Every structure is written in structure tokens, then in C-alpha cells.
Amino acid sequence: MAEAPVVGATLDLMASDLTVIVLAAGGGTRMKSKTAKVLHEIGGRSMVGHVLAAVGALEPSQVVAVVGHQREQVGPHIQALMPDAILAVQDDQQGTGHAVRIAVEAAGTSSGTVLVVYGDTPLLSGDSLRDFAQEHEAAQSAVSVLSGVVDEPFGYGRVVRNDEGDVESIVEERDATPQQRDIREIGSGIFAFDAEFLVDVLPRIGNDNAKGEYYLTDAVGLARETGLTVTAFPIDDVAQTQGANDRVQLAILGRELNQRIVERWMRDGVTVMDPATTWIEADVQLATDVILLPGTHLLGATVVGEDAVIGPDTSLKDCEVGAGARVVRAHGELAVVGDGAKVGPYASLRPGTELGSGGKVGTFVETKNAQIGAGAKVPHLSYVGDADIGEGSNIGAGTIFANYDGTHKHHTSVGKGAKTGANNTFVAPVTIGDGAMTGGGAVVRRDVPPGNLAVSGGPQRNLDRRMPRDQDQTSVGDATTDEGES
């Protein structure tokens, strides 16, 4: 018999009648968490979110998600990511065969191909699923299993082949003989079925096994008994089929996923100085010639433009960074940094910050709901909240935009080309006009017209605190002490 093709070959497009069943009903008790297992996140998505992204790449005719444990969390999450998905509820977790039977009943599937995947395999790719489904259809099999050859098969079902290499059965770990446990080819649990066969075989799967559950793997033996074709397609990248049952496994998969993402971006023209300390989530977008320095974390839907330099020690979540910008030792969330702008070190860009092209948010500056115009600068030691700053303006060191009166937030507007002194406080709501200036230490409570200079406080007085040369130092000291004790 010819050797089974390895998943990854390019075949013709699969049939359009494709149903995908996503198994997401498990309890995940080993996670020891109030969060459902498939909702735990790595790489910026839930585990089931990664699986749904892979499934969506196939453009199936329908997707059925089997939910059960904590379905009040899992169901809405799945439908938020894939609104057209059908939810099938498995109240009692009686095994994979039982779960698939519920899904088939909910979908009303009776023709085409049915693909069964697990909701906790976040490394699974759409390309691998597509290749597997295509190879299943090309072989005209009743059932196919995505398999893999591993050094340590403990815990997995073993793919049992006859002397000719044909698949005879898949035996679960608990039910395997000592000889079968030595088999290194494992079943991933990911199956492709001819829908007509699946509808016929599901009622015939029993639960006479060590766990008293209905195993979907028993469909393999039942197909062989009927004389139907069964195939197993080994996948080179077995890690794609691995699930996470506890937080240790979750962290291992997270590290592997991040390594794959970082390497992909490096191959696409991004310089990563230290891949071991750089984290890039799945939905991040990077242009060519971006440079990421050690300790950089790019999260959420962050987008970074060409020639930008990020890091070291920088975390950006859902941010947009323009071409040629520089962000160093800073934290940002829901912020926009324009082309050629500079941020940091030790700056915090909070939600609603928009820094214009060529602008600057410098050392120990915090911004929130702030629109800072092109070429405007807030160089150091300042808080800018609920404000807009015009093009080319410069905000002096130590300036506070006092936006909160204890009940409501208020807005401050600084015009174009304004120059404000150090240690200013702008008590909102207030407007600083175009080209206006403020004196050092000013507390600005009223609007400053364009081109005016605002100062506050009394005139400076210089008091001579020096002692006369011929004054008795001892007597002065005694007098001061006596006065203090009186």
C-alpha cells in the first residue's frame, strides 16, 4: 500500500459542502479557574478564538460549536467572534461521540464533509485544516484522522495499522494493550467524515470502555467492519494539534505561538533584536523595516508603520504608530503616534491620546484624551488630560492640565504656536490662544487671548536674610530659641 500523504501538500479546492464541528464543552478542571478552559488567552486571543480563525479560513458552509460547561461564558464569546455559528448544548459530557451526535442533530448535516476539531488547540492553522480536508476527500474515505508521530505518546489514542499499513482502529490510552502503547503514531482527535457515514455510525457507537464514554474514535473500527476506507494523515507540525489542559501547558503553547509569530515577522522584514523578550500578539500588524528592541510587547490590534523603532521595554496595546516614529520605554493603550513622532522614555499614553506627526511626548509625561498637534511638544514631567494642543506649541516642564473638579471632567485648549512656562497649572475649562505665552509657575484660571502673556501670583520680593557681620551669633541663636519656647 502506498504511504499516506503528509498534510501540507497542495491539492485542488475541497467541496463547498463543508461542516465544521468545534468541540468546546469540556470542563477544564485542571485549569482551576473560574474562566472556561477554551476562553483562556494566548497571543491576544482565546484558545477557541484561534481555532475559529483557522476554521474561518476554510469558509465552511456551516460551523457548529458544542458548548456545555460554563456555556453562559463560552456561547456568547463564540457567537461574538462568529455570529453565524450554531450552538449545540451538551448538558452531560459523555464523550466526543456524544458531543458530535448532538452537533450533527443541531446542524441537520447529511451530506458533504464534516470536520471535527477541538476548541483548545490554538496553534492549529487554516492551511493545515484545508490540506487535511482536501486529502480526506481525495482519498474518498469514510473517515480520516489527522495523526502525528511523537516520541512520547502517553495520554493519546494510538493509531493501530495492519501489516499493510491500513488503519484498523484508534485505541485510547486507558484501553490500549502494552503492545499498542508502544505505538508512536497518535490520533490528534481531529477527524474528517463523509457526512452520510457519520450520520449512520453515530447511533452505533457504544460506551463499553474504561471511562463509560462514547468515543468518536470508535467510528474508525466500525467503518473498517463495514469495509469502508479509513485513512490517517500524519501532520509534520504535530504541535498544531496539541491542546492545553492546565496553565503549565497553556504557557508552553503561548511561548511556542509567540515564537512562531515573531519568526514570521522577521521573515517579513521586521528586525527583532531579542526574540526571547519580544512578544507580538496574533492581530498585530507590522510594516517592513520596523525595529523592535528588547523587552517590547505589542498587544491587541497594534499597527506599526515603516521604519518605526519600538523599545526597549515598551508595551503598546491597540495602538497605531506612524512611519519613522520612535517609542522608547513607554506604555500605550488605544493611542495614536504620528509619523516621525517621539515618545518617552517613561511616558504613559492612555486611551484617547493622539500625537501628531513630528510631535513629542517626553520623559515622565502622562496623557489621556489628548490631541497633540503636529510638531507640538510636551517634553517632560507633565500631565495632559482632556486637552488639545495646537501645532508647534511647547508645554513647559512640570505642567498640569487640571481637568477634574471633583464631579466632572473639563477641557483645555492650547492654540497653535503657544509657549507655556514651567510648573504651570491650567484649571479647566480654559483656552490658551494662538501664539500666547504663560509665565513660569502660573496658575491659569481664565482664557488667555492670542498673543498675550499670562502671569499669576504677586510680584517677586527679595528679603535679605544675611546677618550683620558684627552681630553676636550666640545671642541671635539664643533669642531665636527663646522666641520659639515662649
Please give the positions annotated as active site. 380
Distances (CA, A) of 7 to 126, 127, 294, 330: 12, 9, 36, 43
- Give me the phi and psi of 479, to 5 degrees please: -60, -40
| Residue 150 cell numbers, joined | 511523537
Q: Long-range CB contacts (< 8 A, 24+ apart) of 302-307?
A: 305/339
How far separated are the first and last CA of the chain, in Å rounded?
111
Q: Is 450 exposed, middle or buried (0-12, 13-18, 19+ CB in 10 A)?
A: middle
